[in-house]
Structures are given as C-alpha cells and as structure tokens.
Amino acid sequence: MGGGLDGSQAPLEYARLTGSGGGCPLSDGHAFGAGSFPLRLRRSPRAKRLRLIVRADGVECVLPVICPERLAHDFIAQHRDWLLRKFREAVARTAPRRFWQEAAATGDLHFPLQGIPTRFSLRDSPSSRMRLSYDGEALLLQLPSPALDAAARIEQAVFAWARAWLGERAGAIVDRHAPHIAGQPRRIRIKRMRTRWGSCGAGNDINLNWLLIAVPPAVLEYVVVHELCHIRHRDHSARFWGLVAAHCPDFQQARGWLKAEGGSLLHRFGSDS
C-alpha cells in the first residue's frame, strides 16, 4: 500500500545456453513428477539450448536432440524453486476464470462476502438486463438467457455491484477517520488490482481493491485507515505505523488475516488485468 500490500508476478519462461554432449534417447511426451508441479521432457530438432516453459498445466523442458538427459535434470533442479513459484503464479492466473466459468455452469456457488461464505445463485432474468441483489444472506444474480460469454458477464456484474457496495462502506470509514488523520482524500476509487489491496496516489486519491468485499469488516477498516495514513506519511516509518495504531489499535490482527488469507482471495477471484 502507498506502497501497497503486494503479491508478485514475473516472466514465465527461462532459457540457458548449454554445451552439447552424448545422446540419450528420450521420447517426446515423456512425463514425470518433480516436487509439486507436473513436468514434461521434450526433444526438439530445432532446439539449440535447454529451455523451460511454465504453463498452468505444468512445466515443459525442451531439449536439443543431442543433449544428455542428466543435463535436463540438473537444469531443472537448479531452477526448481523458481519453477515452483512460476507454476503457482500460472495456476493462480487461471483460477478467477475457472470460478466464474463454474458459476456460469452450475448456477450455485459460494462467494466470501465480508469473510463469510455466502451463497451465490444464478437465475434466468425475464428482461435483457442483469440484476444482482443481496438479501442479507445470499447473493442472487438474474442473468438473461441465453447469455453469450456468461462467465465474463457474471464477473462484470459482481464487480459493478461490489464497486457500489464497497464504495459506500469505505466512504463511511473515511468519514469517520479522515478528519483526525489528514483530511479527506480527493476521491476513493474501487478498482481491479492484481497484487495490491490498496494504494494512495500522489494526488491523495485512495484506490481500493474490489475484492475487499470479501474481507472481514475489521480488515477493510485497517486497509482504509492504512491508506489514509499515507496522505500524511508517504512511507512505512515508525511515525506512519504509530498513526495507524492510534486509529486502528488491532491492525496487527488485520495484517495477519491478510497475510494468511489474502493471497488465496487474490488467486481465486483476482483479475488478470
């Protein structure tokens, strides 16, 4: 934050030049396990070096035709931690898409609203417009049928609803704390954010991740207070944390919740953009 509360992402491919060696027969499509990610070795007559490619369905190591298999194993072992991290990131990028696709297919799932698993159901809409409602216990989305690209439309409907719902709650927190911290921010924006929960811009705009609808109320309050404190202190100095503690005494518990649960929320429901 202000700064930001971050995850990370990085390139998905890594290659290294290798020397040639004695041949070792290895058929295309040979697969074996490597820790916690699927791995496939494939020889290519066009390959001039060992190459590692990371996708959501596993890791592929491409070998030159004349290259000892042991070099591939050594290469993989050398970069195993990097591969595991990249594989998890690749899987994470597909997770949001899978959730909305499953919602479109089944019409009945659970979405974590304010940290509580909340039933999320789809119903055919009698009109051409989508409508999302919440009765205090369940979310109901009325969707025109048949709906082209239903998964994308479901995600868009939930995002639009979340912007209004979260904006109202975040605004109330700002009104309660801002006069005692650094005054009102210029504006509050609810956005798709891949790796941050919030940020404070140079013009005192506060940006909040729309997925804060999924965190407990105390965690939302901490994130908003955190960003308000950045209007006054543009760092994470002792003075900054002292100001956070003065207005959010239980902030350490909220930070702990984000560290323990936040990553899985971003992975499961976060945006590719």
CATH number at residue 194: 3.30.2010.10
The DSSP bridge partners found for residue 13 are 53
111 or 178: which carries more pLDDT confidence? 178
pLDDT for residue 229 is more than 70 = yes
pLDDT, mean of residues 93-111: 77
Same domain, 119 and 195: yes
d(C-alpha 140, C-alpha 131), whole Å: 8
Q: Where among 93, 119, 152 does a domain terminate?
A: 93
pLDDT in the model for residue 94: 62
Structural domain for 234, as ranges: 107-269
* pLDDT tens sequence across 34-50: 346 788 899 999 999 99
Count: domains in the chain: 2
Within-domain flag for 102: no
Which helix or strand (DSSP H or E) is residue 223 part of? helix 217-232
d(C-alpha 144, C-alpha 220), whole Å: 33
pLDDT for residue 235 is more than 80 = yes
Same domain, 138 and 198: yes
- pTM above 0.95? no
Same domain, 190 and 255: yes
Within-domain flag for 41: yes
Within-domain flag for 8: no
pLDDT in the model for residue 145: 73
Within-domain flag for 4: no
Same domain, 188 and 255: yes
Give the amino acid at 196. Answer: R
- Extract long-range pairs of 55-64: CB within 8 Å, 24+ residues apart: 55/12, 55/90, 56/87, 56/90, 56/91, 56/93, 56/94, 58/87, 59/34, 59/83, 59/87, 63/26, 64/18, 64/20
Within-domain flag for 7: no
* pLDDT tens sequence across 123-150: 888 777 888 999 989 999 988 876 667 8
Q: What is the mean pLDDT of the chain?
A: 82
* pLDDT tens sequence across 70-94: 999 899 989 988 888 888 777 766 6
